[in-house]
């Protein structure tokens, strides 16, 4: 049975779409594109699709991943093109490869995020980042399925830096960009947890909701603090690049 791993985006207004609704949209698009998805066995068969490392609702992402099992061989390039045409704008398929050995989920070790903070000056953001990184531990609270949990938001942060928004209006000096690399851990540390940590340790607050975008997720180079492409081990050099 052929398995194909797909990278897709979540952009624009679709960042507010729940993971469950994205799953429904993906299944409908696979049917419209006539992709021969394999079905599970049992009384109530369902498409064999697995998702890994989905971004939280409200966060945009350039690096969402899923894996599908096929009942008949399909060129990954043709599948990518057909599925992308069947999806709404904002859910865009940018890469597809035939899966090789190993687990895709195990390769998703870290995420690279960009956080745009309107109403926050770059100097204030830089001072807060310095305090956060200097702290041995920054505890925050979040409501989970198991109730209210307290955990360390500092331990999973591999890289955190503040800068000015180069795309902002020249007269708008109060807009900072945070560049964040966070290790996938249990419990998961999300960008809003890091913002809660910055608020806790340095009083950093935004006047409006921050714009959060995942740039990459994949294998972590701990020494360089960078996140790689998880599909590299699977990539077929004959497949046109994304």
Q: What is the CATH number of the domain that holds 180?
A: 3.30.70
Q: What is the pLDDT of residues 89-132, one digit of tens each?
A: 999 999 999 999 999 999 999 999 999 999 999 999 999 999 99
Residue-wise pLDDT tens digits, 142-184? 887 778 889 999 999 999 999 998 765 555 568 999 999 999 9
- Are both 102 and 138 inside the same structural domain? no
SS3 of the chain: helix, strand, coil, percent, to 5: 25, 35, 40
Provide the percentage of residues in the chain whose pLDDT is more than 90. 81
How big is the chain, counted in residues?
242
Cis peptide before 187 (omega within 30 of 0): yes
132 and 80 assigned to the same domain: no
Q: What is the CATH number of the domain that holds 95?
A: 3.30.70.580
For residue 87, what pLDDT is reported?
A: 96
199: containing domain = 110-218
DSSP secondary structure code for residue 13 in this structure: G
Q: Confirm whether 225 is domain-assigned.
A: no
* pLDDT value at 204 more than 80: yes
Residue 159 resides in a domain: yes
Calpha distance 37→79 (Å, rounded): 11
| Same structural domain, 164 and 86 | no
Asked whether residue 213 falls in the same domain as residue 117, the answer is: yes
* pLDDT on residue 206: 87
Same domain, 189 and 157: yes
Would the CA dihedral through 167, 173, 174, 176 be positive or negative?
A: positive
91 and 145, same domain (yes or no):
no
Between CA 177 and CA 117 the distance in angstroms is 6
Element housing 226 (H / E): strand 226-227
pLDDT given at position 166: 76
SS3 label, residue 197:
helix
Quote the CA–CA distance of 238 and 241 in Å, as a whole number: 9
Residue 78 lies in a domain: yes
**Averaged pLDDT for residues 13-38:** 95
- Residues 17 and 101 both lie in one domain: yes
Q: Is residue 48 part of a domain?
A: yes
SS3 of 155, please? coil
State the number of CA atoms in the 13 A half-sphere of 183 facing the CB: 14
pLDDT attached to residue 44: 84
Residues 118 and 92 in one domain: no
Share of the chain above pLDDT 70, in %: 94
Phi, psi of 167 (to 5 degrees): -90, 0
The confidence band for 194, taking pLDDT boundaries of 50, 70 and 90, is: very high
- Rounded to the nearest integer, the mean pLDDT of the chain is 91
Mean pLDDT of 209-222: 96
- Mean pLDDT, rounded, for 190-208: 93
Q: How many domains does the chain have?
A: 2
* 116 vs 212: CA distance, rounded Å: 6
Q: What is the pLDDT of residue 187?
A: 84
Nearest to 15 by CA among 230, 211, 215, 229: 211
Q: Give the span between the Cα atoms of 66 and 225, in whole angstroms.
A: 25
Distant-in-sequence, close-in-space partners of 152: CB < 8 Å, separation ≥ 6: 137, 138, 139
- Distance between CA atoms of 172 and 115, rounded to whole angstroms? 17
**Least confident window among 134-148, 153-167, 228-242:** 228-242
Judge if 115 and 197 occupy the same domain: yes
Confirm whether 193 is domain-assigned.
yes
Contact 227, 158 (CB under 8 A): no
> Of 128, 139, 205, 199, nearest to 162 (Cα)?
128
Question: Are the beta carbons of 93 and 83 closer than 8 angstroms?
Answer: yes
Classify residue 10: in a domain, yes or no.
Answer: yes
Judged by average pLDDT, the poorest of 58-72, 131-145, 158-172, 213-227 is 158-172
Pair (102, 120) in one structural domain: no
Q: Kindly state whether residue 71 falls inside one of the protein's structural domains.
A: yes
Q: What was the pLDDT predicted at 236? A: 54
Mean pLDDT of 23-34: 95
Same domain membership, residue 138 and residue 90: no
The answer on pLDDT for 242 being more than 60 is no
């Amino acid at each position: 049975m052929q398995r194909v791993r797909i990278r897709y985006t979540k952009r624009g207004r679709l960042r507010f779409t729940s993971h469950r609704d994205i799953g429904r949209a993906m299944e409908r698009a696979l049917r419209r594109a006539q992709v021969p998805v394999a079905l599970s066995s049992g009384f109530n068969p369902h498409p064999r699709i697995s998702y890994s490392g989905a971004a939280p609702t409200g966060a945009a992402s350039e690096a969402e991943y899923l894996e599908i099992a096929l009942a008949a061989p399909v060129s990954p390039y043709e599948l990518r093109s057909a599925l992308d045409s069947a999806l709404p704008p904002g859910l865009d398929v940018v890469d597809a490869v035939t899966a090789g050995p190993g687990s895709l989920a195990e390769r998703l070790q870290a995420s690279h995020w960009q956080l745009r903070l309107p109403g926050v000056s770059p100097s204030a953001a830089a001072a807060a980042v310095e305090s956060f990184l200097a702290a041995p531990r920054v505890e925050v609270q979040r409501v989970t399925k198991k109730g209210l949990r307290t955990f360390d938001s500092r331990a999973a942060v591999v890289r955190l830096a503040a800068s000015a928004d180069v795309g902002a209006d020249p007269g708008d000096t109060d807009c900072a960009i945070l560049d964040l690399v966070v290790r996938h851990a249990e419990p998961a540390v999300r960008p809003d947890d890091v913002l809660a940590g910055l608020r806790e340790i340095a009083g950093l607050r935004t006047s409006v909701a921050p714009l959060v975008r995942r740039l990459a997720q994949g294998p972590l180079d701990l020494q360089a603090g960078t996140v790689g492409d998880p599909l590299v081990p699977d990539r077929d050099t004959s497949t046109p690049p994304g």
